[in-house]
Amino acid sequence: MKRYVLIVAAGSGMRFSIEETKQFALIHGKPVLMHAFDAFSKANPDFHFVLVLSRTMIEQWKDLCKQHQFTTEHLIVEGGDSRLQSVKSGLNHIPEKMLVAIHDGVRPLVSKGVIEKGFKLAAITGSAIPAIRIDESVREIKGKTSISLNRQSLRLIQTPQFFHSSLIKKAYSGLTRTDFTDDASVYEEAGHKVTLFEGDRQNIKITWPEQLKQIEHLLK
Amino acid sequence: MKRYVLIVAAGSGMRFSIEETKQFALIHGKPVLMHAFDAFSKANPDFHFVLVLSRTMIEQWKDLCKQHQFTTEHLIVEGGDSRLQSVKSGLNHIPEKMLVAIHDGVRPLVSKGVIEKGFKLAAITGSAIPAIRIDESVREIKGKTSISLNRQSLRLIQTPQFFHSSLIKKAYSGLTRTDFTDDASVYEEAGHKVTLFEGDRQNIKITWPEQLKQIEHLLK
């Protein structure tokens, strides 16, 4: 089975300035999004890439590719108004009966280990979702009060999330809910069992500008 | 009401080497724990400090204080085998009818804003617990499977946690459970309502060695 990587980078990054969307922010002089591509290319040079961008970003991205002489082949797809719609748009360009990793473009630190393990596991079980333990106490807001949860049983969910393409494509095509925050939830909603595996806590999702400097030393 | 700061640093830090417990690891040449003290002293020079250490660390800490000419006054208390026992030991040295902030010594980045807001709020409501939103999807492990949780209603809980000293002392003295991971849960178990307020996502808890370098630039 061919292996596809669907990188979703259509988000507006509301905590970043409009001039600098977080996926285009520079780390060691190179856009975050290119670091994400490179992480996959280093793990395996034969991946097929599909990149989802919002319409307003496409020209900027093409300019950046020229400027940085970024030659990794990828298909650019225009995204929708939400992450779920963007993933759905991207999946339309992934063939059936393949394996696909769906990845957030703002996670430039994904490791070779996670990529290899994820594809391997998804080939067997249909899905592979990286998850890490939570080091802090967690509470759930219930109206005006809150209750303590047992953090031992909780996991933070990361990307890339790996799937049999036919299964995740079908799950997305039947999706009616709009409140899911990741692909595993869509897959599960379609009646499939989600397989978790140990993620990597360095695989940070860039959400806040101050994280850029924090992770600079991790990306060498 | 006098304001006390109870800093808990008796943990062995199992993910760090034995030679370098994480509270003594150096950031900009100074132990993490001293940075935590300094954060409070900068917010208000009149705090009364109680520091809980494990027996084996006390001499090392005293040496470090001499070496770094660290002169902030503080009472050293020997801790117990668990965080809950250590807090309980420390609380024995905090008078009744005061306000106390209970803080993890491995959070050197606590801000003046959080410290001021916490004491103010706890004076009114009895407790003040800093909490932040979760940027990632969350799942709960249920036996061999897992379910997706709504992250909108979840909060990561930080320290310092602020209390009326009489209330938290009494809560700890009646505690029989051993599975709580923070003081808010102990307070709640005693029948009190926990008050949350907006924490600061830079107030990182050092759990992994690689975080030391990550936060170095945040501590100037």
Q: E strand or H helix at B64, and its extent? A: helix B55-67
pLDDT, mean of residues A67-80 = 97
Whole-angstrom Cα Rg for chain B: 17
Q: Is B155 in Cβ contact with A196 (below 8 Å)?
A: no
Q: What per-residue confidence (pLDDT) applies to B15?
A: 58
- Rounded to 5 degrees, φ, ψ at A174 are -95, 5
Poorest-confidence range of A58-67, A158-167, B5-14, B134-143?
B5-14
Asked if B148's CB is within 8 angstroms of A154's CB, the reply is: no
User: CB contact, 8 Å: A141 with chain B?
Assistant: yes
CB B133 within 8 A of CB B153: no
Task: Round the average pLDDT of chain B to a whole number and report it.
Answer: 93
Helix (H, G, I), strand (E, B) or coil at B54: coil
CA A181 to chain centre: 11
Interchain CB distance below 8 Å, A139 and B148:
no
Count how many pairs of residues, chain A against chain B, have C-beta atoms within 8 Å: 109
Buried b (16+ CB within 10 A) or exposed e, A202-219: bbbbbbeeebbebbeeee
Q: Which domain holds residue A77?
A: 3-219
Phi, psi of B12 (to 5 degrees): -85, -15
- SS3 track for A6-73: EEECCCCCCCCCCCCCHHHCEECCEEHHHHHHHHHHHHCCCCEEEEEECHHHHHHHHHHHHHCCCCCC
A77 neighbors A35 (Cβ within 8 angstroms): no
Residue B84 is part of a domain; what is its CATH number?
3.90.550.10
Cβ pair A149:B154 closer than 8 A: yes
pLDDT, tens digit, 9 for 90 and up, residues A85-141: 999 999 999 999 999 999 999 999 999 999 999 999 999 999 999 999 998 999 999
Number of domains making up chain A: 1
Residues of chain B in contact with residue A196, where contact means CB-CB under 8 angstroms, are: 139, 141, 146
Q: Mind listing the pLDDT tens digit for each residue in B151-206?
A: 999 999 999 999 999 999 999 999 999 989 999 999 999 999 999 999 998 899 99
Whether A212 has its CB under 8 Å from any CB of chain B: the answer is no
